[in-house]
Amino acid sequence: MIMNKRAFSLVELSITIFIIGLLFVSVSAGSKIIEKHKLKSVYSEVSKIAYAIEQFDLNYNALPGDLHNAHFYFGDACGSNSPAPNGCNGNGDKIIQDAEFNSYTKAESFRFWQHLQLAGLIDGQFSGVIGDYENGYHNSENSYNSSYMDFDFIVYYSWRASQLYSHLHPRNNFIMDNPTYADERWKSLDDVPFTIKEIYDLDTKFDDGSPVKGMINIDSGIYNGYWQERCKTYTGRDAEGKDTWTWYMGNTTGCKIILNGKLFFD
């Protein structure tokens, strides 16, 4: 039996191409909507943490992690009645001592999340103590991980408040990153917390659009053994003699964010 083979007509082919095009546009638009929702949710998450810190300060007249008599309020659920890191209490000096700056001897940055949780101001369960080297000093048991993207909020003493970042809080700031204090390296691209475009979109939508000013500041990291200083580009000096920087949109690895502590602690 001879089968009647009929080729697609030009009209049918055009319709098919049109439908494929619509599907492609729909998928692309859907991906952009999801990405925008993620970034908006991250900003909302930051705002909730800022509110929780403010409420803690109002309730206890101290910063979380730094509360000198935290055991009095939270009991053994917080740890022993002794100073961090082994005990529950901070030292009350208005600085959230972090593991890196203090050679792991105080590490109030881990008690920080635990105090907020025990005060009923954030969700989760936090051990309040530093993790071991093998599992990363910062991990899901002691640090706040974003519900929307793969990064941790890490409180740190502002040793990065150099001339470039002199506008940061003089004591306490945040890093939004996914390495550990074990070696602060991204082993693979899966470890990288943000693409350059994601931070650019966050900054232009919610801050000032500058990579090194305002509340959202871009920072590089170590990937595959090499420092990736390719998140921002030096562009010279302005009329006041200050260095100026712009976004390096050609970055193909990723970047992390420094959040200005003035959003949280002033």
Identify which of 72-76, 131-135, 148-152, 191-195 has the greatest average pLDDT.
Answer: 72-76
The average confidence (pLDDT) of the chain is 82
| For the chain, percent of residues with pLDDT exceeding 90 | 36
DSSP reduced 3-state for 2: coil
Mean pLDDT of 122-132: 88
DSSP reduced 3-state for 111: helix
Residue 29: predicted pLDDT: 46
Residue 138: predicted pLDDT: 81
Residue 159: predicted pLDDT: 57
Phi, psi values for residue 129, rounded to 5°: -125, 155
Residue 8: predicted pLDDT: 57
Give whole-number Cα distances, 220 to 24, 141, 199, in Å: 34, 25, 12
Residues 6+ apart with CB under 8 A from 95: 66, 108, 157, 171, 172
Mean pLDDT of 155-178: 79
Mean pLDDT of 233-252: 88
Residue 186: predicted pLDDT: 83
Mean pLDDT of 80-97: 90
Residue 140 class from Cβ within 10 Å (0-12 exposed, 13-18 middle, 19+ buried)? Answer: middle
CB atoms within 10 A of CB 232: 21
Give whole-number Cα distances, 162 to 76, 93, 170, 203, in Å: 39, 22, 10, 21
Check residues 142 and 6 and name the one with the higher pLDDT: 142
Residue 200: predicted pLDDT: 94
- Tell me whether the omega of the peptide bond preceding residue 85 falls within 30 degrees of 0, making it cis: yes
Phi, psi values for residue 176, rounded to 5°: -105, 105
**pLDDT tens per residue, range 10-62:** 666 777 776 776 666 555 445 555 566 777 888 889 999 999 999 999 999 99
Rounded CA-CA distance 201/61 in Å is: 36
Q: What is the DSSP string of 75-143?
A: GGGT-EEEETTTEEE---SS----TTTTTTS--HHHHHHHHHHHTTSS-S----SPPPTTT-SS-TTTS
Phi, psi values for residue 60, rounded to 5°: -120, -5
Would the CA dihedral through 230, 212, 262, 201 be positive or negative? negative
Does 1 have pLDDT greater than 60?
no
Residue 145 class from Cβ within 10 Å (0-12 exposed, 13-18 middle, 19+ buried)? Answer: middle
**pLDDT tens per residue, range 107-117:** 888 999 999 99
Identify which of 4-18, 65-79, 222-236 has the greatest average pLDDT.
Answer: 65-79
| For the chain, percent of residues with pLDDT exceeding 70 | 79
